[in-house]
Structure 1
Amino acid sequence: MQDMARTFAALSDPTRLSVVEKLMQQGELPVAALVSDAGMSAPAVSRHLKVLREAGLVTQRAEGTKRYYRVAPESVRAIADWTTLHRSFWAASLDRLEAVLAEDRDLVDE
């Protein structure tokens, strides 16, 4: 559970979430491509990438002096598994909310 807390904490930052989404859409990218799209300095992007690496969301590969990043598929799978596991809780909660709202509408209509 602590791993999931670290994962969600890392993704709670809009910049880091954006980086992960970009890597999911485009695949492995060099740091330079991530910096050019982020609108912030290379050191700032590197700090975000470090958080994502430590959370296990991305992996890094070196090729000469260049660094390439990609999403770690096992981390995305863990998020999907966690979400699926908790889906019944959310579905039941939303069903209860819908019932309460329906009761409120019925009271207003009377």
Structure 2
Amino acid sequence: MTDRILHRTRAIDAAIESLDGAFFKALCEPSRVAVLKRVMQLGRADIGEIAQGLPQERSVVSRHLQVLLEAGIVRGTKVSRQMFYEVDGPAVVARLEAILEHMKSLTPFCCPGAS
């Protein structure tokens, strides 16, 4: 196997690994993105505060928050019996930067006209 083919294979594998389905699934639902925007606006907030500004039922907002939590986009902190949510900015930035770097390394192998 030549060095170019080996490098291409590694670049493809790294790019595929970075394309986490849960992360993209969490961001592809408009209602869920609205929940994420609300959390961004409020900062650290509980389900009551988050749901108050949204048209969905509180239970639906809670399910959206759970998907965002599982995807590593928001984090939850339990205080007594109450759960507070906030955007996990460093985790989101790290995920997006990893995707960008992997795609940059893959571009010369897969995209015509790339330099």
What TM-score, normalized by structure 2, do the two folds share?
0.64
Give 1:83's aligned residue: 100
1:29 is displaced (CA, Å) by: 1.4
Amino acid at match of 2:96: I
SS of the equivalent of 2:20 reads: helix
Aligned to 1:24: 40
| Structure 2 residue runs without a partner (length 5+) | 1-16
Aligned to 1:60: 76
What's the CA shift string for 1:68-99, capped at 9, x where partnerless? 1011221332123313543584xxx6x96xxx
Q: Shift of residue 8 of structure 1?
A: 0.5
Structure 1 unaligned residues grouped into runs of 5+: 97-110
Over the aligned positions, Cα root-mean-square deviation in angstroms equals 2.6
What letter matches 1:81 in structure 2?
Answer: A
Q: Is the 8 A contact 1:27 1:70 kept in 2?
A: yes
Given the two structures, how large is their TM-score scaled by the length of structure 1?
0.67
**Paired letter, 1:56:** G
Rounded Cα–Cα distance in structure 2 between residues aligned with 1:82 and 1:21: 22
**Structure with bigger gyration radius:** 1
How far off its partner does 1:66 sit?
2.1
Secondary structure at the aligned position of 1:32 is classed as helix
Q: Which amino acid aligns with 2:66?
A: K
Kindly, what percent of the aligned residue pairs are identical?
A: 27
Q: Whose helix fraction is larger, Structure 1's or Structure 2's?
A: 1
Q: 1:49 to 1:2 in 2, by over 3 A?
A: same
What secondary structure sits across from 1:38 in the alignment? coil
Higher relative contact order (CA 8 A, sep 6+): 2
Greater than 6 Å deviation, 4+ residue runs: none
